[in-house]
Structure 1
Amino acid sequence: MAMGAGQGLKGFAALLLFLNLCMYIILAAIGGWAIQVAIDQGFIIGPGLELPAHFTAIFFPMGNAATGFFVVFAIIAAVVGAASAIAGLHHIRAWNTESLPAAASAGVIAWTLTLLAMGLAWKEIVLGGRNAKLRTMEAFSIILSATQLLYVLVIHAAPPIMFHAGQPARR
């Protein structure tokens, strides 16, 4: 592959990295809002009262039965996705074979967690009864599952600069 094609893929990878980072931050922010609402308006048990039969530790006053699980896994995916973007940023800067494994493995882990959140988003969509912020989280989880996979494929497809011990890396 010519050097120009590799640089084009590097630019595309940087664009995907920035897009994913922004979407992961938004996903985490909306998830944080949902957890805040669940804590503030959640089920409170007074002294002498018993738990209801269908009580779950992941109780959210909005949404449906899948909301709690979806929000928790979406936040985990968002935090790991943002961390993978930091590793990806280092790889974009260095663009050599030394930085590729860290960026690729972090990207794959973030992608698999995003797939898990996406699956729960689909379950929440099927059950219905959620507000606009939860629908936004669902959409971002579904979109991120595709763009994160595309990012991982692009950094594998673009040829990084070979780095040999004793030689300075080219930038």
Structure 2
Amino acid sequence: MAESLKPVALLLLILNLCMYAILAIIGGWAVNISIDRGFILGPGMRLPAHFHPIFFPIGNWATGFFVVFSLLAGVVGIASGLVGFSHIRHWNYYSLQPAATTGLLAWALTVLAMGLACQEISLDRRNAKLNDL
């Protein structure tokens, strides 16, 4: 019976891997925007009065944490997808443990990023391109 579930698990794993890859790409884009448009300090210049270490010129004060945890969730999700492929290939008890552990860790980071997204929505409207993230 367990062998008949392999194609279903593979399909769900591919969908999950695609979702996390898209999440990592959009999170990387947002970090790149932050680096390009962030504070530029030269010699003789001082930090602004309300400097935030995770500053994002798009969104609001929760955007920095949201993007960082989304990017982290995307990378861990991709890693869990790769471990999941190994589990589907071997399909035994010993390959299930690392796949389940990385999957739970990716899920926990995704839930944390979702909570930060809810905080960002409750603070103020956000950039239209961040809606995809």
Alpha-carbon shift at residue 10 of structure 1 (Å): 2.8
**Aligned residue identity for 2:116:** L
**Aligned residue identity for 1:114:** T
Cα RMSD (Å) of the superposition? 1.4
Count of aligned pairs: 133
Alpha-carbon shift at residue 8 of structure 1 (Å): 4.4
Verify the 8 A CA contact 1:63 1:130 in the aligned structure 2: yes
CA distance in 1, matches of 2:16, 2:87: 15
1:20 alignment partner in structure 2: 16
Verify the 8 A CA contact 1:24 1:79 in the aligned structure 2: yes
1:120 alignment partner in structure 2: 116
Q: Percent identity?
A: 62
5+ residue gaps in structure 2?
none
Deviations 1:119-171 (A, max 9, x none): 1111112123222321111xxxxxxxxxxxxxxxxxxxxxxxxxxxxxxxxxx
Q: Which runs of 4+ in 1 moved over 4 A?
A: none
TM-score normalized by the length of structure 2: 0.92
Alpha-carbon shift at residue 67 of structure 1 (Å): 0.6
Deviations 1:3-60 (A, max 9, x none): 1xx3443332222211111011111111111111111111112332322222111111
2:104 alignment partner in structure 1: 108
CA distance in 1, matches of 2:72, 2:131: 18
2:42 alignment partner in structure 1: 46
CA distance in 1, matches of 2:37, 2:120: 20
Query: Equivalent residues in 2 for 1:9-158 (5 A)?
Result: 9-137=5-133
CA distance in 2, matches of 1:9, 1:120: 35
Deviations 1:81-129 (A, max 9, x none): 1001000001111111121111111111111111111111111121232
CA distance in 1, matches of 2:46, 2:125: 27
SS state at 2:54 partner: coil
TM-score normalized by the length of structure 1: 0.73
